[in-house]
Amino acid sequence: MYTQEQAKQLRKDFWILFGKRCQVVPELQGRSKKWVLYDTKISGLDLKFEVDRQSAKVMIELNHRNESKRLDAFEKLQRYKPLLEAGFENGLVWDFLYVRESGEEVCRVFVEQQGFDIHRQNQWPDIFNFLIDNMLKLESNLMEIRDVLKEEIDG
């Protein structure tokens, strides 16, 4: 087991090494930013990575503070389910209500790999590959519909 400080440092080391791993990904070469993440150009819609002691996730998160706007955006996103799930053998998980540790309610659309543990450094190469491969797909799929989705969500 790790102390709280050791676990914090381990997470920091993980993300630093992940950033270095991303530098050698051919699909990310020449980009001004490695990933779109918070810069989707759609208000309240972000792309995120999440890794903990049980799993790794790559996701779209709808985090608009206004519940009706957030749920409306989720419904609009669902219209493009076939396009968003392209390339994902088992589809994506569509969760219209996820409560963060902070108590904030969000909607999530994600792909998850169970069995990954951020504390197991021997798993890091596999976790990195999972995150990179799936974010490339999810980001590409979202970018195909971004303009029309932005118009529908942001008006």
CATH architecture of 4-154: 2-Layer Sandwich (3.30)
* pLDDT tens, residue order, the chain (155 aa): 789 999 999 999 999 999 999 999 999 988 878 899 988 999 999 999 999 999 999 999 999 999 999 999 999 999 999 999 999 999 999 999 999 999 999 999 999 999 999 999 999 999 999 999 999 999 999 999 999 999 999 87
Asked if residues 97 and 105 have their Cβ atoms less than 8 Å apart, the reply is yes
Which two structure tokens, joined as six digits, stand for 115? Answer: 């069995």
With H, G, I as helix, E, B as strand and everything else as coil, classify residue 35: coil
According to the model, what pLDDT value does residue 52 have?
A: 97
User: How confident is the model at residue 2, as a pLDDT?
Assistant: 85
Tens of pLDDT, residues 125-143: 999 999 999 999 999 999 9
